Chains A and B, each alone.
Chain A
Amino acid sequence: MGEQSPVLEMTGIRKVFPGVVALDGVDFRLFPGEIHALMGENGAGKSTLIKVLTGVYTIDGGQVRLGGEVVHINGPLQAQQAGISTVYQEVNLCTNLSVAENIFIGREPRKFGRIQWGQMRRRASELLARLDLNIDVSAPLNTYSLAIQQMVAIARAINVPTAGPAATSATGTASGTGTAAGGGAKVLILDEPTSSLDASEVAQLFAVMRRLKADGVAILFVSHFLDQIYEVSDRLTVLRNGQLIGEYRTAELPQVKLVEKMIGKELAALEDLEDKAQRSRERTAGAEPIVEARGLGRAGAIAPFDLTIHAGEVVGLAGLLGSGRTELARLLFGADRADSGELRFAGKPVTLRDPQVAMKRGIAFSSENRRTEGIIGDLSVRENIILALQASRGWTRPIPRRRQDEIVEKYIKALQIRPADPERPVRNLSGGNQQKVLLARWLITEPRLLIIDEPTRGIDVGAKAEIQKLVAELSDGGMAVLFVSAELEEVLRLSHKIEVLRDRHLVEELQNTEGVDADRIMQTIASGATS
């Protein structure tokens, strides 16, 4: 290939929001046929840069060159036409429509204005087959998992026909095998595509990415999983606080150095944590059990299981996506009703009819879908934090404003929520900070059992460490924590006890002692996969 000229070149990009400089003179280059990772903490400006590229934001300064020519991108449609396609973290498709439609809507094959459904389905199948996906393309998208939806989004993204001098045009009806999977998209932006995928799905996604790369597509990849960055990317660009830190070859930058560049300080917090978990391991021996589940289950969601959680204990739930992690957690919070077994809370039998009952007993549940089930975007940080406490008091006894301010102030400081402005709508905060707000909401209710489902998904290393530290501190303070996470390392680091789930069964309980590591858990998860 040799040295090529960049397909995309951004110079001196500046973007200002009221009160914040989101991007301050950032340069960014993207070459054809490379996978380029964009790195940085939450609020570093990654999302802003991507939104500039996709035309959601207009820039206040700087220049964007595409294929050598200066372009002004004024909207998503224009970005697509220019050859920049994006797959967002939250799948932005219409799940009520069929798979085929989601790939082709807006550019359906037509004859005399009439959509050619047969042809559309055939081409959708072909396109997905190239991504190793053989599914019924006429089924509505919402019948498929997030992972599949993600793949469909990519299929749509790479199928964009462009006006530019792309090698092959996807607008024609001919669809021989000669057509590259790249269709017309020159730049493909993948914003956190892996955050809701399990290991095998990630591997499949990477295979697709490498194939597109071989076709000459320039891929901008954002992920919070450092391992993934090192596995798949060729180069990376680091941003911090809206400024460019540097552009590096991935292979030449050790992981520790990368983290340092991202957060700008040496991070010892993670190592500390490990010791802490070790030290407190014996603690649970004499503690009172907070939760005792005996044969608790719900048909179709999770098979009957036994589970005991003591005060001051962190219990980790490990398992693949869809193995029943969330379903188990929802039973313990009363979000779903158990249809078998019994549950004792602090020694007394309880029936959790709905979350309100659970909340009254001192159970808090921080949901995995912070966007749809947790955060209320239009309310301020303060209002979001106060919400659960207010609900548990009842609406007839409002919390005095001064008390609200005190509490909120305290937690904004304790959790380092940024920006530290209690009156800012939560919508405007980055993902990691939204997660912290959500945690704060539950923490102020001083629960006896805190259930957190994927609290660190899609947030950066620094915030992740802070949240992990917080969990450890809470359990030190005597709170029982049920910690659900797809990241085994995280589960291992925090938990005293690990419950392994597979295919909606709780298959093993492991005390987190010396011999237990990620491999051991992986074995348990994998051992039943073939039988």
Chain B
Amino acid sequence: MTTIDATPDTGNKKDSPSNPRRRVYRPNTRYIPILATLALLVIMYGGAVANYENFGQPSVVVNLFRDNAVLLVVTVGMTFVILTGGIDLSVGAVISLTTTLTATLLQGGWPPLVVLVLVLLIGSLIGAGQGAVIHFFKVEPFIATLAGLFLARGLALFINQQSIPIRDETWKAISEYRIPLADGVVTKPVAVVAVAAVLIAAAVLAWTRFGRNVYAIGGSADSALLMGLPVGRTRIAVYTLSGFCAALGGVLFSINSTSGWALQGNGLELDAIAACVIGGVLLTGGSGYVFGALLGVLVTGLIQTIIIFQGDLNAAWTRIIVGVLLFAFIVLQRLVTRKAK
């Protein structure tokens, strides 16, 4: 006979675990940073609409995506990396390598499709290489990707130090193509690519094993390993993805500017990291959302737009405000996590 019923069924035994004494209350704390960013965005937008003529037009919002497409794509890749608790400093350099290579090859008469596939592959390979070094040799991501930064930037400068114009018909056609959204509101293909990247990334993170493993590794890589999760594979995949996103960002960059230049994308990795932080992605890993990172990008983009509308402000204000916001959000995250503790 089974002994299942033999255990005394006392009332308090049952409710003690369901009312755990040490339960810590943190109502939706994981949403607080992202909600704060959203609130900030709404307030900034509302204030700008009230103060500047024409700011309320839909094209202002639509253009945000167009103007920040490159940053958005790079930030998507960076989000994956940061969620695992890592960091990727090489993305800006990969962009410059991609634009330089794209321009050089197109100038040399290579077929556009081959060029596209090739540069995306190279970006992914650089990422995979970094991931492999990080995983197999237990090198700090900061160091490994710093090496990647120098390598990619160096390669780009080696290919050509000058700005190279792109005269390829396909590239120009994509650059000049406009997608009508509504009356008088148009956008570029690059914006569509960026938005698609965000949506795909959000779906992958929420609904695939790969996505959940990313969160698990960020929570505790040791535990993830003991739970039998493919930590090494996931980690390498994440850096590969970031490399791919950087290369894609480079392609978008070359489409936007119809040129390639080895000094393009300088410091973009830091913008991407800043966007992640402002968007509530914890640098320690395991917490955050792609949509948060999207909000982070939009906040920086909106600041730039406001400064342009103001007209008499120095562009340096963008950086200053982003710096202040970064401080504010890091402190906010601290407070939220400490309260939870």
Residues of A within 8 A of B (CB): 76-77, 80, 86, 88, 92-97, 101, 105-106, 108, 110, 113-115, 117, 132-135, 140, 142-148, 151, 156, 200-201, 203-204, 207, 210-211, 214, 320-323, 529
Determine how close the nearest CB of chain A comes to the CB of B117; give it in whole angstroms.
Answer: 24
Give A135 to B16 CA distance when docked, in angstroms. 11
Closest B residue to A207 by CB, please name it.
B7
- Residue from the list A95, A144, A156, A204 in contact with B220, Cβ < 8 A: A95
Contact B228 A113 (CB under 8 A): no
Decide yes or no: A94 and B286 within 8 Å by CB, A80-B228, A320-B21 being known contacts.
Answer: yes
Contact A148 B227 (CB under 8 A): no
Question: Can you list 24 A-B pairs, Cβ within 8 angstroms, ordered by A?
Answer: A77-B228, A86-B226, A92-B227, A94-B286, A95-B220, A97-B219, A97-B286, A101-B216, A106-B213, A106-B228, A108-B209, A113-B208, A114-B207, A114-B208, A115-B208, A115-B212, A117-B207, A132-B13, A143-B25, A143-B26, A144-B20, A200-B13, A210-B3, A211-B7
Contact A96 B18 (CB under 8 A): no
- Residue from the list A135, A201, A210 in contact with B7, Cβ < 8 A: A210
Kindly list 7 other residue pairs between chains A and B, CB separation below 8 angstroms, not including A134-B14, A204-B17, A323-B21.
Answer: A133-B18, A134-B17, A135-B20, A144-B20, A144-B23, A210-B6, A210-B7
- B219-232 to A contact mask, C-beta < 8 Å, 1/0: 11011111111000
- B286-321 to A contact mask, C-beta < 8 Å, 1/0: 110000000000000000000000000000000000
Contact B216 A88 (CB under 8 A): no
- Residue from the list B17, B22, B223, B229 in contact with A151, Cβ < 8 A: B17
Contact A132 B14 (CB under 8 A): yes
Determine how close the nearest CB of chain B comes to the CB of A402; give it in whole angstroms.
Answer: 35
Closest B residue to A206 by CB, please name it.
B7
Contact A93 B223 (CB under 8 A): yes
**Cβ–Cβ < 8 Å partners of A106 in chain B:** 209, 213, 227-229
Give A146 to B206 CA distance when docked, in angstroms. 27
Contact B22 A105 (CB under 8 A): no
Give A458 to B220 CA distance when docked, in angstroms. 23
B215: Cβ under 8 A from any A Cβ: yes
**Cβ–Cβ < 8 Å partners of A92 in chain B:** 220, 222-223, 226-227
Closest B residue to A181 by CB, please name it.
B4
**Cβ–Cβ < 8 Å partners of A151 in chain B:** 17
Give A376 to B18 CA distance when docked, in angstroms. 35
Contact B12 A200 (CB under 8 A): yes
Closest B residue to A157 by CB, please name it.
B227
Closest B residue to A110 by CB, please name it.
B209
Contact A105 B223 (CB under 8 A): no
Closest A residue to B341 by CB, please name it.
A142
B172: Cβ under 8 A from any A Cβ: no
- Residue from the list A93, A134, A156 in contact with B18, Cβ < 8 A: A134
B218: Cβ under 8 A from any A Cβ: yes
**Cβ–Cβ < 8 Å partners of A143 in chain B:** 23-26
Give A203 to B14 CA distance when docked, in angstroms. 11
Give A529 to B21 CA distance when docked, in angstroms. 12
Give A384 to B3 CA distance when docked, in angstroms. 49
- Residue from the list B23, B25, B219, B228 in contact with A95, Cβ < 8 A: B219
Give A491 to B142 CA distance when docked, in angstroms. 48
- B10-53 to A contact mask, C-beta < 8 Å, 1/0: 00111011101111111000100000000000000000000000
Contact B21 A321 (CB under 8 A): yes
Closest 4 CB pairs of A and B: A94-B219, A145-B22, A96-B219, A322-B21
Of B7, B17, B216, most A-chain CB atoms within 10 Å:
B17
**Cβ–Cβ < 8 Å partners of A115 in chain B:** 206-209, 212
Give A86 to B226 CA distance when docked, in angstroms. 9
**Cβ–Cβ < 8 Å partners of A80 in chain B:** 228
Determine how close the nearest CB of chain B comes to the CB of A53; give it in whole angstroms.
Answer: 13
B2: Cβ under 8 A from any A Cβ: yes
Closest A residue to B212 by CB, please name it.
A105
Closest B residue to A79 by CB, please name it.
B228
**Cβ–Cβ < 8 Å partners of B213 in chain A:** 105-106
Interface size on B, residues (CB 8 A): 41
Closest A residue to B209 by CB, please name it.
A108
**Cβ–Cβ < 8 Å partners of B212 in chain A:** 97, 101, 105, 108, 115
Contact A133 B24 (CB under 8 A): no
**Cβ–Cβ < 8 Å partners of A88 in chain B:** 226
Give A117 to B20 CA distance when docked, in angstroms. 25
Contact B17 A148 (CB under 8 A): yes
**Cβ–Cβ < 8 Å partners of B16 in chain A:** 200-201, 204
Determine how close the nearest CB of chain B comes to the CB of A63; give it in whole angstroms.
Answer: 24
Q: Which of B226-246 contact A (CB under 8 A)?
A: 226-229
Determine how close the nearest CB of chain A comes to the CB of B266; give it in whole angstroms.
Answer: 34
Give A93 to B223 CA distance when docked, in angstroms. 5
Determine how close the nearest CB of chain B comes to the CB of A530; give it in whole angstroms.
Answer: 8
Contact A94 B7 (CB under 8 A): no
Contact A135 B3 (CB under 8 A): no
Give A101 to B224 CA distance when docked, in angstroms. 12
- Residue from the list A76, A110, A214 in contact with B4, Cβ < 8 A: A214
Contact A204 B18 (CB under 8 A): no
**Cβ–Cβ < 8 Å partners of A214 in chain B:** 2-4
Contact A147 B286 (CB under 8 A): no
Determine how close the nearest CB of chain A comes to the CB of B316; give it in whole angstroms.
Answer: 37
Determine how close the nearest CB of chain A comes to the CB of B169; give it in whole angstroms.
Answer: 38
Determine how close the nearest CB of chain B comes to the CB of A235; give it in whole angstroms.
Answer: 18
Give A111 to B100 CA distance when docked, in angstroms. 42
Give A210 to B2 CA distance when docked, in angstroms. 10
Of B2, B20, B23, B25, most A-chain CB atoms within 10 Å:
B20
Contact A96 B287 (CB under 8 A): yes
Contact A211 B3 (CB under 8 A): yes
**Cβ–Cβ < 8 Å partners of A207 in chain B:** 7
Contact B207 A76 (CB under 8 A): no
Give A113 to B207 CA distance when docked, in angstroms. 8
Decide yes or no: A94 and B216 within 8 Å by CB, A133-B17, A207-B7 being known contacts.
Answer: yes
Contact A148 B286 (CB under 8 A): no
Give A203 to B215 CA distance when docked, in angstroms. 34
Closest A residue to B226 by CB, please name it.
A92
**Cβ–Cβ < 8 Å partners of B22 in chain A:** 144-147, 321-322
Give A108 to B223 CA distance when docked, in angstroms. 17
Decide yes or no: A148 and B3 within 8 Å by CB, A92-B223, A96-B218, A96-B287 being known contacts.
Answer: no
Contact B209 A147 (CB under 8 A): no
**Cβ–Cβ < 8 Å partners of B13 in chain A:** 132, 200, 203-204
Contact A94 B224 (CB under 8 A): yes
Give A265 to B212 CA distance when docked, in angstroms. 52
**Cβ–Cβ < 8 Å partners of B222 in chain A:** 92
**Cβ–Cβ < 8 Å partners of B215 in chain A:** 94, 96-97
Contact B216 A97 (CB under 8 A): yes
Determine how close the nearest CB of chain B comes to the CB of A371; give it in whole angstroms.
Answer: 12
Determine how close the nearest CB of chain B comes to the CB of A134; give it in whole angstroms.
Answer: 5
Give A77 to B230 CA distance when docked, in angstroms. 9
Of A80, A106, A320, most B-chain CB atoms within 10 Å:
A106
**Cβ–Cβ < 8 Å partners of A142 in chain B:** 24, 340
Closest A residue to B1 by CB, please name it.
A214
Closest A residue to B223 by CB, please name it.
A92
**Cβ–Cβ < 8 Å partners of B14 in chain A:** 132, 134
Contact A132 B286 (CB under 8 A): no
Determine how close the nearest CB of chain B comes to the CB of A266; give it in whole angstroms.
Answer: 38
Of A80, A86, A110, A207, most B-chain CB atoms within 10 Å:
A207
Contact B17 A132 (CB under 8 A): yes
Contact B18 A135 (CB under 8 A): yes
Determine how close the nearest CB of chain A comes to the CB of B2; give it in whole angstroms.
Answer: 5
Of A110, A140, A146, A323, most B-chain CB atoms within 10 Å:
A140
**Cβ–Cβ < 8 Å partners of A148 in chain B:** 17, 20
Give A75 to B216 CA distance when docked, in angstroms. 19
Give A105 to B230 CA distance when docked, in angstroms. 11
**Cβ–Cβ < 8 Å partners of A133 in chain B:** 17-18
Determine how close the nearest CB of chain A comes to the CB of B295; give it in whole angstroms.
Answer: 20
Determine how close the nearest CB of chain B comes to the CB of A81; give it in whole angstroms.
Answer: 8
